[in-house]
Structure 1
Amino acid sequence: LVGLEAAGEILVLRAGRIVERGRHHDLMQMDGLYRRMWELQSQIFD
């Protein structure tokens, strides 16, 4: 997930389907899969 903050659009897939779509900031505002994955990764590197 590192480097996605600058992406113009991020697609989050689950079982081959798009479940979330947007910019990093917008996806972080949602309580969705992208945010949960970002937070888990952040805990590993803290």
Structure 2
Amino acid sequence: MPKTVIYTNIDKATLRKKGWMFFMAVVGLQMLFLIGNYLLPKVLNF
């Protein structure tokens, strides 16, 4: 029993860390996309 409990705790921690990294990556990509859409016309039109 203790082994499974320790394993599940580690699994939850790693899943949470991966989920947080994935969430940050998605937010970062959305921000880059918005900034790109805002800046590209100005750069192309000078």
TM range (shorter): 0.3 to 0.5
Higher relative contact order (CA 8 A, sep 6+): 1
Structure exhibiting the larger radius of gyration computed from Cα positions:
2
